[in-house]
Structure 1
Amino acid sequence: MLTRVGKRLENLWDAGKAANMSEPEKLLYRSNLLGSDKRITNYGGGNTSAKVMEADPLTGEQVEVLWVKGSGGDVGSMKLDGFSTLYMDKLEALKGKYRGVEFEDEMVGYLPHCTFNLNPRAASIDTPLHAYVPRKHVDHMHADAIIAIAASTNSKELTAELFGDEIGWLPWKRPGYELGLWLEDFCKKNPDAKGVVLESHGLFTWGDTAEDCYACTIDIINRAIAWLDEKTDGKPAFGGAKHESLDADGRRAVAAALMPRIRGMVSGNQHMVGHFDDQDAVLEFVNSKDLGTLAPMGTSCPDHFLRTKIRPLVVDFDPATHNLDAVLDGLPAQVEAYRADYAAYYERCKHDDSPALRDPNAVVYLVPGVGMITFAKDKATARISGEFYVNAINVMRGATAISDYQGLPEQEAFDIEYWLLEEAKLQRMPKPKSLAGRVALVTGGAGGIGAATADRYLSEGACVVLADIDQTALGATLDNLAGRYSKDVVRTVTMDVTDEAGVAAAYAFAAVEYGGSDILVSNAGIASSAPVEETTLELWNKNMSILSTGYFLVSREAFKLFRAQGMGGSVVFVASKNGLAASPNASAYCTAKASEIHLARCLALEGAEAGIRVNVVNPDAVLRGSKIWEGDWLEQRASTYGTDKEGLEEMYRNRSMLKRSVLPEDIAEAAYFLASDKSAKSTGNIINVDAGNVQAFTR
Structure 2
Amino acid sequence: MSIKTFKHVNYLWNEQKAAELGDDQVALFLYRSNILGADLRITNYGGGNTSCKTIEKDPLTNEEVEVMWIKGSGGDIGTLNRAGIAGLYTERLRNLKKVYKGLHDEDRMVGLFNHCIYDLDSRAPSIDTPLHGLLPFKHIDHLHPDALIAVAAAKDSEKVTKEIWGDTMGWVPWQRPGFDLGLQLEKCLNDNPGIRGIVLGSHGLFTWGDTSYECYMNSLEVIEMASEYITKKIKEKGSVFGGQKVQSLAADIRKEKAAQLMPLLRGLCSSENRMIGHFSDSDVVLEYINSNDLYKLAPMGTSCPDHFLRTKIQPLVLDLGTDEDFSNSEAVLDKLKPAFEKYRQEYATYYNTCKRDNSPAMRDPNPVIIIYPGVGMFSFAKNKQTTRVASEFYINAINVMRGAEAISAYTSLPRQEAFDIEYWLLEEAKLQRMPKEKPLSRKVALVTGAGGGIGKAIADKLAEEGANIVLTDIAEDRLKEAEATYKRDVATYAVCDVTNANSIAQAYKKACLEFGGIDIVVHSAGLAISKPLEAHTEQDWDLLQNVLVKGQFELAKQAVALLKQQGLGGDFISIASKNGLVSGPNNVGYGTAKAAQQHMVRLLAAELGSDDIRVNTVNPDGVIVGSKIWEGDWAEGRAKAYGISVDELPAHYAKRNLLNKIIYPADIADGVFALVGILTKTTGNIINVDGGMANAFVR
Q: Same fold per TM (> 0.5)?
A: yes
Deviation at 1:161, TM superposition (A): 0.8
**Cα distance in 2 for residues equivalent to 1:320 and 1:157:** 45
Q: Which residue number corresponds to residue 551 of structure 1?
A: 552
Equivalent residue letter for 1:318:
G
**Cα distance in 1 for residues equivalent to 2:556 and 2:267:** 19
Deviation at 1:327, TM superposition (A): 4.1
Matches within 5 A, 1:391-540: 391-480=396-485, 482=486, 486-540=487-541
- The secondary structure found in structure 2 opposite 1:617 is strand
- The secondary structure found in structure 1 opposite 2:136 is coil
**Measured at CA, do residues 324 and 622 of structure 1 come closer, stay the same or move farther in structure 2, by a change above 3 Å?**
closer
Deviation at 1:239, TM superposition (A): 1.0
Residues 458 and 464, structure 1, Cα contact 8 Å, conserved in 2: yes
- The secondary structure found in structure 2 opposite 1:691 is coil
**Cα distance in 2 for residues equivalent to 1:447 and 1:16:** 41
1:371 equivalenced with 2:376 (yes/no):
yes
Equivalent residue letter for 1:292:
Y
Q: Which residue number corresponds to residue 278 of structure 1?
A: 281
Residues 87 and 115, structure 1, Cα contact 8 Å, conserved in 2: yes
1:246 equivalenced with 2:245 (yes/no):
no
Q: Which residue number corresponds to residue 561 of structure 1?
A: 562
Range that drifts further, 415-424 or 199-208: 199-208
**Cα distance in 2 for residues equivalent to 1:220 and 1:339:** 40
Q: Which residue number corresponds to residue 220 of structure 1?
A: 222
Equivalent residue letter for 1:387:
E
**Cα distance in 2 for residues equivalent to 1:532 and 1:655:** 25
Deviation at 1:267, TM superposition (A): 1.9
**Cα distance in 1 for residues equivalent to 2:13 and 2:507:** 45
- The secondary structure found in structure 1 opposite 2:101 is coil
Deviation at 1:585, TM superposition (A): 1.1
Q: Which residue number corresponds to residue 153 of structure 2?
A: 151
Deviation at 1:355, TM superposition (A): 0.6
Equivalent residue letter for 2:248:
S
Deviation at 1:27, TM superposition (A): 1.1
Matches within 5 A, 1:282-321: 282-320=285-323
Equivalent residue letter for 1:396:
M
Equivalent residue letter for 1:48:
T
**Cα distance in 2 for residues equivalent to 1:280 and 1:334:** 26
Could you report, residue by residue, the CA deviation over 1:1-38 in whole angstroms, capped at 9, with x for unpaired residues? xxxxx933243334454341311112112111211101
Equivalent residue letter for 1:478:
E
Could you report, residue by residue, the CA deviation over 1:635-682 in whole angstroms, capped at 9, with x for unpaired residues? 111111111111122221222222211110111000001111x21111
Runs (4 or more) in structure 1 with deviation over 6 Å come to none
- The secondary structure found in structure 2 opposite 1:337 is helix
Deviation at 1:353, TM superposition (A): 0.5
**Cα distance in 2 for residues equivalent to 1:604 and 1:648:** 35
**Cα distance in 1 for residues equivalent to 2:15 and 2:459:** 45
**Cα distance in 1 for residues equivalent to 2:121 and 2:643:** 66
**Measured at CA, do residues 622 and 129 of structure 1 come closer, stay the same or move farther in structure 2, by a change above 3 Å?**
same
Range that drifts further, 524-533 or 380-389: 524-533
Deviation at 1:266, TM superposition (A): 2.1
Q: Which residue number corresponds to residue 259 of structure 1?
A: 262
Deviation at 1:268, TM superposition (A): 3.4
Residues 625 and 650, structure 2, Cα contact 8 Å, conserved in 1: no
Deviation at 1:271, TM superposition (A): 2.0
- The secondary structure found in structure 2 opposite 1:643 is coil
Could you report, residue by residue, the CA deviation over 1:502-540 in whole angstroms, capped at 9, with x for unpaired residues? 111111110111011110111111111122122111111
**Measured at CA, do residues 286 and 513 of structure 1 come closer, stay the same or move farther in structure 2, by a change above 3 Å?**
same
Range that drifts further, 142-151 or 326-335: 326-335
**Cα distance in 1 for residues equivalent to 2:307 and 2:444:** 27
**Cα distance in 1 for residues equivalent to 2:500 and 2:532:** 29
Range that drifts further, 619-628 or 384-393: 619-628
Deviation at 1:698, TM superposition (A): 0.9
Q: Which residue number corresponds to residue 659 of structure 2?
A: 658
Q: Which residue number corresponds to residue 689 of structure 2?
A: 689
Please list every run of 5 or more consecutive structure 1 residues that lacks an aligned counterpart in the other structure: 1-5
Matches within 5 A, 1:56-455: 56-233=58-235, 235-320=238-323, 327-455=332-460
Q: Which residue number corresponds to residue 3 of structure 1?
A: none
Range that drifts further, 532-541 or 566-575: 532-541
Deviation at 1:149, TM superposition (A): 1.0
Equivalent residue letter for 2:303:
S
**Cα distance in 2 for residues equivalent to 1:324 and 1:197:** 51
CA-based RMSD of the aligned residues comes to: 1.4
Equivalent residue letter for 1:34:
L
Deviation at 1:211, TM superposition (A): 1.7
Please list every run of 5 or more consecutive structure 2 residues that lacks an aligned counterpart in the other structure: 1-5
TM-score by length of 2: 0.97
The number of residues matched between the two structures is 689
**Cα distance in 2 for residues equivalent to 1:592 and 1:54:** 72
Could you report, residue by residue, the CA deviation over 1:192-240 in whole angstroms, capped at 9, with x for unpaired residues? 1111111110011122222211111110000111111111116222111
Deviation at 1:323, TM superposition (A): 7.2
Deviation at 1:336, TM superposition (A): 1.0
Residues 662 and 690, structure 1, Cα contact 8 Å, conserved in 2: yes
**Cα distance in 2 for residues equivalent to 1:263 and 1:619:** 34
Equivalent residue letter for 1:145:
A
Could you report, residue by residue, the CA deviation over 1:428-482 in whole angstroms, capped at 9, with x for unpaired residues? 11111111111100011113111111111111111010111111221221122x1
Query: Which of 43, 46, 49 matches 1:44?
Result: 46
**Cα distance in 2 for residues equivalent to 1:128 and 1:374:** 34
Equivalent residue letter for 1:628:
I
- The secondary structure found in structure 2 opposite 1:372 is strand
Residues 53 and 67, structure 2, Cα contact 8 Å, conserved in 1: yes
Equivalent residue letter for 2:382:
K
**Cα distance in 1 for residues equivalent to 2:561 and 2:488:** 27
Equivalent residue letter for 1:375:
F
Could you report, residue by residue, the CA deviation over 1:397-443 in whole angstroms, capped at 9, with x for unpaired residues? 11111211111100000000000110110111111111111110001
Could you report, residue by residue, the CA deviation over 1:307-346 in whole angstroms, capped at 9, with x for unpaired residues? 1001000111211566785543211111111110000000
Equivalent residue letter for 2:215:
C
Equivalent residue letter for 1:308:
T
**Cα distance in 1 for residues equivalent to 2:55 and 2:325:** 64
Could you report, residue by residue, the CA deviation over 1:116-168 in whole angstroms, capped at 9, with x for unpaired residues? 03233110000111111122221111000111111111111111111111111
- The secondary structure found in structure 2 opposite 1:502 is helix
**Cα distance in 2 for residues equivalent to 1:477 and 1:103:** 52
- The secondary structure found in structure 2 opposite 1:179 is helix
Deviation at 1:564, TM superposition (A): 0.6
**Cα distance in 2 for residues equivalent to 1:16 and 1:377:** 40
- The secondary structure found in structure 2 opposite 1:165 is helix
Equivalent residue letter for 1:277:
S
- The secondary structure found in structure 2 opposite 1:146 is helix
Residues 152 and 406, structure 1, Cα contact 8 Å, conserved in 2: yes
Residues 243 and 320, structure 1, Cα contact 8 Å, conserved in 2: no
Could you report, residue by residue, the CA deviation over 1:378-398 in whole angstroms, capped at 9, with x for unpaired residues? 100010110000000001111
**Cα distance in 1 for residues equivalent to 2:340 and 2:263:** 14
Residues 450 and 479, structure 2, Cα contact 8 Å, conserved in 1: yes
Equivalent residue letter for 2:231:
D
- The secondary structure found in structure 2 opposite 1:64 is strand
**Measured at CA, do residues 508 and 323 of structure 1 come closer, stay the same or move farther in structure 2, by a change above 3 Å?**
closer
**Measured at CA, do residues 607 and 128 of structure 1 come closer, stay the same or move farther in structure 2, by a change above 3 Å?**
same
**Cα distance in 1 for residues equivalent to 2:225 and 2:62:** 45
Q: Which residue number corresponds to residue 7 of structure 2?
A: 7
**Cα distance in 2 for residues equivalent to 1:474 and 1:43:** 28
Residues 31 and 75, structure 1, Cα contact 8 Å, conserved in 2: yes
Range that drifts further, 11-20 or 276-285: 11-20
Q: Identity over aligned residues, as a percent?
A: 52
Q: Which residue number corresponds to residue 624 of structure 2?
A: 623
